[in-house]
Chain A
Amino acid sequence: MDENQNLDLSDDEKKLFEDFMPEDLDEILDTGVNRRHFLKLVTLAGGGLLAAQSAAAEQLFTRSFPAPSTAGVSAATIENGVNVSLKVNGTARKLMVDSRMTLLDTLRERLELTGSKKGCDHGQCGACTVIVNGHRVLSCLTLAASCEGKTVQTIEGLAKGSTLHPMQEAFLKHDGFQCGFCTPGQICSAVALLDEARKGDASYVTEDVRKKTGPVQLSTEEIRERMSGNLCRCGAYPNIVAAIQEVHSGKPVEQTFRFSA
């Protein structure tokens, strides 16, 4: 995609931008609507200023603008470039990355999959958890270069079309989040955790690791221990555990929260 491709705005849309962000119009026409513009528009809309043109504004927000092109980053601009072929959410991707580039940055900045979140970027929070070759790992401590031939599944790859993954459904039902930042990592981690339990993997709180009797029935304590690599600073832990327990057991788990009267 040509990075300098002009945006094809309708006259109504141009007018909308000109009315509210006259100083930004040229930039918008050159490079598209960026996050700063978007936030500005949302703030204006929130203040009711856009009410009169809300239909046009809504159309504008929901239109997909060409993202800044990254797929064509030239080899010359990449220091120590490494070619990598990997499969992300079922799609084969081939790209050249700087040897320093993590899988997380590659997903977010090159493949436009911004569901995986950068929390601490040091392997301490779990917000960047993705599933590589069937195992949950931290994408912030994984070099993209080391993913040659691997299969990566991110939060974007869990739903089947508009049908959510059962774990996503359960997180909604049990209100397993507040701000939502840790949620993609929590859900990816939880999905892979249930596979580990089905295989009979032990944890530090497993009473007798010498006993191996197939799939493990996870207690609340087991889920908490096995999810300890995913921090939630809003403290939605009881609801997260309830959501995982519901998918794990296949039986409805009572909601730990209720709406105030």
Chain B
Amino acid sequence: MRPFTYTRASDPSLAVRELAANPTAKFLAGGTNLIDLMKEDVERPSAVIDISALTLTEIKPIAAGTSKGGISIGGLGKNTDAANHPSIRQHYPLLTQAILAGASGQIRNMATNGGNLLQRTRCPYFYEVAMPCNKREPGSGCGALEGINRLHAIFGWSEKCVAVYPSDMAIALAALDAFVRVKRPNGEERSIPFTDFHRLPGDTPEQDTNLAHGELITAIDLPQNKFADRSYYLKVRDRASYAFALISVAAALEVTGNTIVQARIAMGGVSHKPWRALTAEKMLVGKEATAENFKRAADAEMAAAKPLEHNKFKVELGNRSIVLALQMAMNGGKA
């Protein structure tokens, strides 16, 4: 690991100013991804500002604004605490399931909610500094495009980058139309709709998100919804636990009688950002919640997939995963 200066932040406003003043400084929260990447020499901060002692950990009801009536989750709260909070378990079980599908007990005890969203890709070409990677070193090329790309994207990739985004938590947050609340170096706050938070790679894959240097995630806001009775987070992976998703599907339905009023489907393991299956969602609204309609929606969504040489299986796997996740959601989210 390269040398870096270490400071402990005691105040969010000072922390953002300190970070903004140094273009090669990084915030340290849980450290589960950053420390690993520093050991791998992928991340090379000159200064680390430890924000883990800031008290942005509260989970509380939202009294005003776009998410009124919902719940706000502190950016520096731990993943374990968010997943097990009684209100989250009761009203946002999709989020609980998604968090618990990720990593291990130890890592969820360390990882913060804001940090989870800022996880970097686990693309092996990104991690291996001897390989070309436009995300790690812009202009060096993409090793995965014509390399071993079994784990890579089938939606929204570019010639510059075919990596996928790794978080499970974020897939549920995309389905739940969350907002990311951010503190800026000038002291202002802004609220970013979740689907605008992460980016597709385009020509600048080095930018994972639309967060500017010096901005700090203070909270994630969850609007109220009527999905708690019918949601499910399905994760398909190479081993039964403690592995990143090949495909994951966050499915949530609001149903009257057997008619779908609202449908939300977000997919993980398929793109550079949480992939909202908007085509499938639109097809389901107003339809009966039947296996045939689920299958038609999945077919329509996956028809637009553009698989690479080694991940063609993800098209059929994604199709079946959408159908299964919707069926599980209808079954009250029970496995």
Contact B6 A143 (CB under 8 A): yes
Number of interface residues of B (CB under 8 A): 45
Chain B 73-115 per-residue mask, 1 if CB under 8 angstroms from chain A, else 0: 0000000100110100110010011001101111101100000
Say yes or no for B210: interface residue by CB 8 A criterion: no
Say yes or no for A87: interface residue by CB 8 A criterion: no
Q: A123-B36, A202-B100 are in contact. Are A135 and B109 (CB under 8 A)?
A: yes
Contacting A100 at CB < 8 Å: which of B4, B84, B235, B240? B4
Which positions 89-122 of chain A face chain B at CB distance < 8 Å?
99-100, 102, 121-122
Alpha-carbon gap, A192 to B38, bound state (A) = 28
Specify the chain A residue showing the minimal Cβ separation from B48. A99
Alpha-carbon gap, A48 to B93, bound state (A) = 64
Nearest-neighbour CB distance to chain A for B51, whole angstroms, equals 10
Which positions 128-149 of chain A face chain B at CB distance < 8 Å?
129, 135-138, 141-143, 145-146, 148
Number of interface residues of A (CB under 8 A): 45
Contacting B84 at CB < 8 Å: which of A135, A141, A201, A210? A201
CB contacts (< 8 Å) of A196 on chain B: these are 80, 105
Contacting B105 at CB < 8 Å: which of A80, A100, A123, A189? A189
Q: A129-B106, A212-B89 are in contact. Are A143 and B3 (CB under 8 A)?
A: no
Say yes or no for B226: interface residue by CB 8 A criterion: no
Say yes or no for B50: interface residue by CB 8 A criterion: yes
Nearest-neighbour CB distance to chain B for A85, whole angstroms, equals 13
Alpha-carbon gap, A207 to B335, bound state (A) = 6
Say yes or no for B35: interface residue by CB 8 A criterion: yes
Say yes or no for A259: interface residue by CB 8 A criterion: no
Contacting A126 at CB < 8 Å: which of B36, B52, B97, B106? B106
Contacting B83 at CB < 8 Å: which of A121, A193, A202, A208? A202
Contacting A226 at CB < 8 Å: which of B31, B39, B105? B105
Say yes or no for A228: interface residue by CB 8 A criterion: yes
Say yes or no for A205: interface residue by CB 8 A criterion: yes
CB contacts (< 8 Å) of A136 on chain B: these are 105-106, 109
Contact A208 B36 (CB under 8 A): no
Nearest-neighbour CB distance to chain A for B104, whole angstroms, equals 2
Contact A229 B106 (CB under 8 A): yes
**Max chain A C-beta neighbours (<10 A), residue from B96, B103, B110:** B110
Say yes or no for A203: interface residue by CB 8 A criterion: yes
Contact B3 A138 (CB under 8 A): no
Contacting A228 at CB < 8 Å: which of B50, B104, B333? B104
Alpha-carbon gap, A143 to B35, bound state (A) = 8
Q: A123-B32, A135-B80, A204-B241 are in contact. Are A229 and B4 (CB under 8 A)?
A: no
Specify the chain A residue showing the minimal Cβ separation from B127. A122
Alpha-carbon gap, A123 to B89, bound state (A) = 27
Contact B39 A122 (CB under 8 A): yes
Contact A138 B110 (CB under 8 A): yes
Chain B 256-275 per-residue mask, 1 if CB under 8 angstroms from chain A, else 0: 00000000000000000000
Which positions 192-209 of chain B face chain A at CB distance < 8 Å?
none
Alpha-carbon gap, A183 to B172, bound state (A) = 35
Contact A210 B89 (CB under 8 A): yes
A positions within 8 Å CB-CB of B = 79-80, 82, 99-100, 102, 121-123, 126, 129, 135-138, 141-143, 145-146, 148, 189, 192-193, 196, 199-210, 212, 224-230
Identify 21 residue pairs between A and B in the complex whose beta-carbon atoms are under 8 Å apart, listed by A's number.
A80-B5, A80-B6, A100-B1, A100-B4, A122-B39, A123-B107, A135-B80, A136-B106, A137-B110, A141-B31, A141-B35, A143-B28, A146-B31, A146-B50, A146-B52, A193-B105, A200-B84, A204-B235, A207-B335, A212-B90, A225-B241
